[in-house]
Structure 1
Amino acid sequence: MYKTIALTQDARGVVTLSLARPEKHNALSRQMLLELTDAAQALAVDPTVRVIVLRGQGATFCAGGDLAWMQAQMQADSETRAAEARILAMTLYHLNTLPKPLIGALQGNAFGGGVGLASVCDVAIGLDHLKMGLTETRLGLIPATIGPYVLARMGEAKARRVFMSGRIFSAVEAVQLGLLARAVPAESFDAEIESEVTPYLACAPSAVAAAKKLTRDLGPKIDETVIDHTISALVACWEGNEAQEGITAFFEKRAPAWKR
């Protein structure tokens, strides 16, 4: 059914939702985002699903935006750029509002949109050697559509430590920032994920869904107005000279003009 993601479900109702482009380090392509949205909508209404584990196949959880997608945006008009940004925004929205527990299993690095995916999980566990980073500003862009979820997870004070600098940080710092609940060695990774899954199987599913909705109702509002604002901010960056220079430099494998 899907080409860029994979779904499996065990007898307990635990679904593993895997990013399945390991050869591309699970970079977020347009197709992957549409498939993730479709899967999230289907899982949301499936009464047999109790818990969802989000992970990536291969060595990397998610390397961020797909390179081919970035190249296409360089030639696109404002309307197209906004429409493409909305695809990512709505993927995150549907994952964030799933009425089922969403457990992130980060077996490798997460950059850009990968940090956004980690931020919409109810809890994320990472391997102790992984690296994370909001690297958009290195390209003359901003972490816009993922921003509301990153801020909701970290809080403004912690987010300001990494949101603008583009620096890569360790799994240990990711725990301190609130992006990861724990950073664990590979040999205990599966057991740690299972420890997050198991308690939900003793809970009433509708009560879990209602409790999760309440946390979102009481937490930072991420509604249509917020989403529209992030899309406009991203498109404005795409319209500027820095994005053109940053992305061109990236593909030409040279330093951008501003690098010192």
Structure 2
Amino acid sequence: MFETLTIETDERGVATLTLNRPDKHNAMSARMLADLTQAAAQLGSDPAVRVVVLTGAGKSFCAGGDLGWMRAQMAADPETRFVEARKLAEMLQALNTLPKPLIGALQGNAFGGGVGLASVCDVALGVDSLKMGLTETRLGLIPATIGPYVIARMGEARARRVFMSARLFDAGEAVELGLLARAVPADALGAAVEAEVTPYLACAPGAVASAKQLARDLGPRIDDAVIDHTIRALVDRWETEEAGEGIGAFFDKRRPNWG
């Protein structure tokens, strides 16, 4: 059913949602955005699914946005850019509002949008060799549509340590920042995920969904107005000379004029 994802559900109702573009380090293409949005709706409405585990195939969890997709936005008209940015925002919100526990299992690298995916998980676990970073500003862009979820997860003060600098940080710092609940050796990740999953199987599914809704209601506001603001911020940024220079430099394998 999905071109860029796989879903496997065991007899307990634990669904494993796997990003499946390993040759591209699971970078998010337009197709993946659509697949993730559809998968969230499918898993959320399936009464047989009790818990969802989000992970990635291959060496990386998610390298962020697909550069080909971002380059296409540079050549598009503003209306098209707005539509594409909304697809990204709607995917994140679909996962954020999934009425099932969402457990992230991260390996390799999680950059840009990959950090956003970790931030919409109720619990994110990572291998101790994991590297993370909000790398958008290296390309002249900003972490716009992922921003509300990153800020909600880390808090503004901690987020500002890494939100603008594009520096990479390790799993230990990710735990300190609040992005990861735990960092474990690679061979212990499966057991760590299972330890998070198992308690939910003794809980009333409806109560879990209601408790998750309440937590979101009591937490930072991420409503249509906030989402629209982030979409406009991203579209505006795509239209700048810096974005054109940054993405162009990446494809030309050269340093941008500010670096």
Give the structure-2-normalised TM-score: 0.99
1:200 counterpart residue number: 200
Letter in 2 for 1:248: G
1:25 counterpart residue number: 25
C-alpha distance in structure 1 between counterparts of 2:218 and 2:105, whole Å: 26
C-alpha distance in structure 2 between counterparts of 1:68 and 1:258, whole Å: 22
Runs of 5+ unmatched residues, structure 2: none
Letter in 2 for 1:175: V
1:247 counterpart residue number: 247
2:118 counterpart residue number: 118
After TM superposition, give the deviation of residue 184 of structure 1 in Å.
Answer: 0.3
How many residues in Structure 1 have an aligned counterpart in Structure 2?
259
C-alpha distance in structure 2 between counterparts of 1:12 and 1:69, whole Å: 37
Letter in 1 for 2:240: G
Letter in 2 for 1:204: A
After TM superposition, give the deviation of residue 29 of structure 1 in Å.
Answer: 0.4
Letter in 1 for 2:250: F
C-alpha distance in structure 2 between counterparts of 1:238 and 1:103, whole Å: 32
Letter in 1 for 2:168: I
After TM superposition, give the deviation of residue 42 of structure 1 in Å.
Answer: 1.0
C-alpha distance in structure 2 between counterparts of 1:231 and 1:8, whole Å: 32
C-alpha distance in structure 1 between counterparts of 2:104 and 2:38, whole Å: 18
Runs of 5+ unmatched residues, structure 1: none
C-alpha distance in structure 2 between counterparts of 1:199 and 1:79, whole Å: 46
Letter in 2 for 1:214: L
Whether 2:218 is the aligned partner of 1:218: answer yes
SS at match of 2:132: strand
1:92 counterpart residue number: 92
C-alpha distance in structure 2 between counterparts of 1:224 and 1:80, whole Å: 19
Letter in 1 for 2:159: A
Letter in 2 for 1:162: V
Moved over 3 A (4+): none
C-alpha distance in structure 2 between counterparts of 1:105 and 1:252, whole Å: 33
1:76 counterpart residue number: 76
C-alpha distance in structure 2 between counterparts of 1:240 and 1:74, whole Å: 9
C-alpha distance in structure 2 between counterparts of 1:41 and 1:189, whole Å: 27
SS at match of 1:65: coil
Identity value in percent: 71
| Deviations, residues 128-160 of structure 1 (Å, cap 9, x unaligned) | 001000000000000000000000000000000
C-alpha distance in structure 2 between counterparts of 1:183 and 1:14, whole Å: 22
SS at match of 2:179: coil
* Pairing of 1:1-260 with structure 2 (within 5 A): 1-259=1-259
C-alpha distance in structure 1 between counterparts of 2:143 and 2:186, whole Å: 29
Alpha-carbon contact 2:249-2:256 (below 8 Å) kept: yes
C-alpha distance in structure 2 between counterparts of 1:41 and 1:187, whole Å: 31
C-alpha distance in structure 1 between counterparts of 2:100 and 2:154, whole Å: 22
SS at match of 2:126: strand
| Deviations, residues 196-250 of structure 1 (Å, cap 9, x unaligned) | 0000000000000000000000001111100100011111111111001111111
Letter in 2 for 1:189: L
